[in-house]
Amino acid sequence: MPQLPAALTNPGMLLALCLVVGLVIVVNATLLSVFRRGTGDGETARWIQALGGARERQRQQTAQMEELHRAVKLLSADKPSPDKPNE
């Protein structure tokens, strides 16, 4: 059996080396899988569609709130303000 370097005969150093090698392998595998998948056009299109729908719903709610605000303003224009009874 070949002789190991003195640093590798220490179990703590051997464990640390194995952890570092494992970490490098995991990071490289993750990056490789991300780049191999490409841009993910199908998933991206779904997110864009979902966010676009949410924006449209928000625009509708904003328009409804503005219309309600105008109606309340018109109705309250004729009545005196309760906090200013003498005016």
Q: What is the mean pLDDT of residues 59-85?
A: 84
In whole angstroms, how large is the CA radius of gyration of the chain?
33
| Among 57, 75, 78, 79, residue whose Cα is nearest residue 67 | 75
Mean of pLDDT values over 62-84: 84
Give the pLDDT of residue 45.
Answer: 75
Residue 84 has pLDDT above 60, yes or no: yes
Ordered by start, the domain boundaries in the chain are 9-37+45-76
How many residues in the chain? 87
> Kind and range of the H or E element at 30?
helix 11-37
Mean pLDDT of 70-84: 78
Cα angle: 74, vertex 76, 77; to 5 degrees: 65
What pLDDT digit, counting tens, does each position of 5-61 carry?
776 778 888 899 999 999 999 999 888 877 776 555 677 777 777 777 888 889 999
